[in-house]
Structure 1
Amino acid sequence: MSPEDRREAIAEATLPLLVEHGINVTTSQIAEAAGIAEGTVFRVFKDKHELLGYCVHTALRVEPLLEALQAIPRTSDLEALLRAAADAMGDHFRRSGALMHALAASGWRPERPSPDEEQQWHQRRLEQARLTTQAVADLLAPEADRLRVAPRTVAGMFLGLVFTDQMGRRAFGETAPASTDELIDVFLHGVLAR
């Protein structure tokens, strides 16, 4: 196994443990979950803090979401396309949100990045948002003649709605996001009674 594959395997085994235990997870728990000796963790990562940072980076990667969006079967049923996209995005937001919540609740505070690192992080997030918006726009492109605005505009609005519903409602005291069906219905038909 290559060093990068080993890092990935350890991170994948660690992520569920971080959601469960936060930063209180032990390296022996990590080693057991990964099926490796505890010393291997420290041959791959210089310390637990580096492992946590790598896990956060892994959880926030957009590539699995893009693959899920690209795998959605193309259909002329616009509601089905949006439902599948909302489900894929919801899964991604829930996983990354659960990790970040567990880490913050257990006292983890990331190191303050340098201005250059912060700028690079910001640029990466913008690129990830662009790629995700484009993937949803590509999904909707065959239905462009049914849309009042361009597929890319629809994709941006839809992403904003799904993200806010998944991640922002707790800030307003809501305990759970709307159902996917409610979200799609409001997005396509508005909030007014028919």
Structure 2
Amino acid sequence: METISGHVRGRATPLPPDERRAAILLAVRPVLLERGAAVTSRELAEAAGVAEGTLFRVFTDKVTLVREAVLAAVDPADSVPELAAIDRDLPLHDRVAAVLDQGLARVGEAMRWMALLHEISRLEPGRPPAEHREAAMRLWGTRQQAGTEAVNATIAWLLEPDADRLRLPLDDVIELLTTVLMGATMRTVDARRRGLDTPPPDAGRLADLVLHGVLTDGSARC
């Protein structure tokens, strides 16, 4: 069985190795979020639409596959197409709110993925969990840097039509958006950890805060 393939004149042709690998990593995400570290090789193969033998010709073992899937899922660059789809003709407030809304959803999902990465580190044979975590975090950091640069470039492209209306340079505005996003997310995480029922952050309200601050219109600068 082989469904991860291309089609040329109606005939299925195998994908190049890199594309096949990426297709598998994308296909297994739903079952990983559903089953966590308890997922079986059979379930992963079924999700990818390939035989188990095919799966492990691409990946060394289940732990390697899960780790790679997690790292791919939390790569910021994965969100670039969705960000780029935001209409640049929308009002500035709506564009900023859309960026924050997507960011809030993605950060929340990323936390689930990182919890899975922690779980799977305990299952890797012959390697101390601490050593595995350090190696995984180094690889994660490298991907995060490149992906974050791609995300920031896309946000800058979205905000550029109104750059002359902003009091700060675009880079500073993007840094502020990131700070607000992370702060709002961590507040929600902390509340859940303490068992509190806190409503999710409102992207529109956060966008208003970023663009207009907390002073009333016409207030003298402090």
Judge same fold: TM > 0.5, yes or no.
Answer: yes
Quote the residue 2:6 is aligned against.
none
**Structure 2: 5+ residue runs without aligned partners?**
1-14, 122-128, 218-222
Query: Residue 19 of structure 1 aligns to which amino acid in structure 2?
Result: L
Corresponding position: 1:135 with 2:154: yes
CA positional deviation for 1:28: 0.7
Quote the residue 2:220 is aligned against.
none
Query: Residue 44 of structure 1 aligns to which amino acid in structure 2?
Result: V
CA positional deviation for 1:126: 2.9
Distance change in 2, residues 1:61/1:75 (3 Å): same
Distance 2:56 2:139 in 1: 27
Distance change in 2, residues 1:145/1:76 (3 Å): farther
Quote the residue 2:9 is aligned against.
none
Quote the residue 1:148 is aligned against.
167
Quote the residue 1:180 is aligned against.
203
Distance 2:49 2:97 in 1: 37
Quote the residue 1:12 is aligned against.
26
Distance change in 2, residues 1:120/1:58 (3 Å): closer
CA positional deviation for 1:50: 1.0
3-state SS of 1:108 partner: helix
> Which one has the largest radius of gyration?
2
Distance 1:120 1:102 in 2: 16
CA shift digits 1:53-86 (9 cap, x unpaired): 2102210222231222222221261111102212
Distance change in 2, residues 1:25/1:72 (3 Å): same
Distance 2:16 2:85 in 1: 28
Distance 2:138 2:59 in 1: 25
Distance 1:162 1:118 in 2: 22
The number of aligned residues is: 190
CA positional deviation for 1:189: 2.8
Quote the residue 1:3 is aligned against.
17
> 152, 162, 174: which is aligned to 2:181?
162
Distance 1:131 1:33 in 2: 29
Q: Are the counterparts in 1 of residues 98 and 203 from structure 2 also a CA contact under 8 Å?
A: no
TM-score normalized by structure 1? 0.83
3-state SS of 1:74 partner: coil
Corresponding position: 1:23 with 2:23: no
Q: Are the counterparts in 1 of residues 31 and 39 from structure 2 also a CA contact under 8 Å?
A: yes
Q: Are the counterparts in 1 of residues 159 and 170 from structure 2 also a CA contact under 8 Å?
A: yes
TM-score normalized by structure 2? 0.73
CA shift digits 1:107-152 (9 cap, x unpaired): 32261445xx866653443333333223212211211222111122
CA shift digits 1:140-181 (9 cap, x unpaired): 121122211112211110122113323453125464531212
Quote the residue 2:120 is aligned against.
108
Distance change in 2, residues 1:126/1:34 (3 Å): closer
**Structure 1: 5+ residue runs without aligned partners?**
none
Identity value in percent: 33
Distance change in 2, residues 1:63/1:75 (3 Å): same
Query: Residue 93 of structure 2 aligns to which amino acid in structure 1?
Result: E
